[in-house]
Amino acid sequence: MNRLVVGFLAILLSAGAAHAQVTEVRYALISGTASAPVTGQCTKGYSDQCISGNCSCVTVTGATVGPFSTCFAAPNCPVLAGKGTADLYLTFDDGLVMPGASTGESAECVPFFGIAKLTTTRARGTISVKEKLNLTGVSCQPTTGGAKTVLGGFGVAVETNGGTGFGKIRGFYPSPAAGPISLTLHGPITQ
Amino acid sequence: MRKILILIAIAVLGFKVMPALAQIPYNADFQVSGNLGISSSSTACSTGYAAFCPSNHTCKCLTASQASLHNASGGSITIPPGVTTVDVAKDVTDVTNTPPGGCFPAYADVNYVSTDGTAHATINIFATLCKPVVAGGPLSFSGGGAIEQATLIDVFPITVTGWGTLTGTYAPTSTSGQNLTLDLMASGNVLF
């Protein structure tokens, strides 16, 4: 009888633990193909802002969401959102470019405000998640050419299961127009 | 006499539109340190790129004391002793999430003038200021910056242009000493 009670308690505790929200530093990789910029700001959520009045909108539809490559080898890598797809809307504020040299060079670090709409599953596909992340940062053009570097931050705006959190963004953005984009995110996420 | 005047005029005009004698690419790591205060005001900063707070947003201006600008890359560009000011406008309206309010856009500028007045620089910055990713750690800056109107020293005064990515830390609980670091990985040109 005692064994039965202990068994039931163990099952109840493990079920509770499965649904308990935990805060830890989690990681995600969003990679896809960015569209060519279109004149004007995007119109989705946090991306719908153009401080200078001179903006362009870049969209990424059907991007892949998954863990960092370094996480594939780790058995218990804390993943942000899980695996699935994302649509990104990025407003680049071209008029807010940081003033650069007085010699005619144009500085090429452009601020952006964006939103990522994620549709994913986690916990081996047992939990479905829809999530909106607000993104902001800059995209800097290397003087030597090649892909632009993205640095910034993000926050969880909406998560269907009540998840919250924020973190940092680092990645690459195509130059000069459409092409592959890759963003890595990490930060303390409660989910 | 008239011909001589015309020749002088042509020479003067030619000199004015003459490009720099030499333009050499460089990579340099510019670092800023200082003590960034905790703002109690709800106003934007008043000068430069840090004044770039949207009119319908609330920004808090943070100003650093005991600030200094260094060149950490060990290159030939030197930054003589001088006075550095740092202003950071944190846009609290445009926070990425509420609650808990994790990351904020920040507009900043760094202004430097050497003690003897021969060297000066302005660095304009847009970055995201995020709460600590790891409990107990500092806040972090992630963004980019551009060098504007910089005259630094490489034996002689030189004009330096460029831009690049910027990272940094800010520990507001540390009220004394150096609680701010900014690191601009810049690429650009030195004009002789």
- Which domains can be identified in chain A, with CATH numbers? 21-190 (2.40.160)
Cα distance from B55 to chain A (closest Cα, Å)? Answer: 9
pLDDT at B135: 87
DSSP tag of A98: P
pLDDT at A71: 66
pLDDT at A79: 85
Are A105 and B188 within 8 A, CB to CB?
Answer: yes
Find the mean pLDDT for residues A127-156: 90
Closest residue by Cα to residue B93 from B42, B41, B28, B145: B42
Higher pLDDT, A14 or A74: A74
Closest residue by Cα to residue A49 from B88, B95, B49, B130: B95
pLDDT at A91: 96
Are B143 and A135 within 8 A, CB to CB?
Answer: no
Residue of B nearest to A108 (CA): B163
CA distance A72 to B74: 38
pLDDT at A66: 87
Residue A151: which of B25, B101, B165 has the nearest Cβ? Answer: B165
Higher pLDDT, B39 or A32: A32
Give pLDDT tens digits for A79-116: 888 899 999 999 999 888 887 644 444 447 899 999 99
- Model confidence at B60, in pLDDT bands (50, 70, 90)? very high
The H or E element that residue B9 is part of is helix B2-17
- Which domains can be identified in chain B, with CATH numbers? 21-191 (2.40.160)
Are B135 and A113 within 8 A, CB to CB?
Answer: no
| pTM for the model | 0.86
- Give Cβ neighbours of residue B145 (< 8 Å, ≥ 6 apart): A98, A109, B123, B124, B125, B126, B127, B163, B164, B165, B166, B182, B184, B186
CA distance B191 to B20: 6
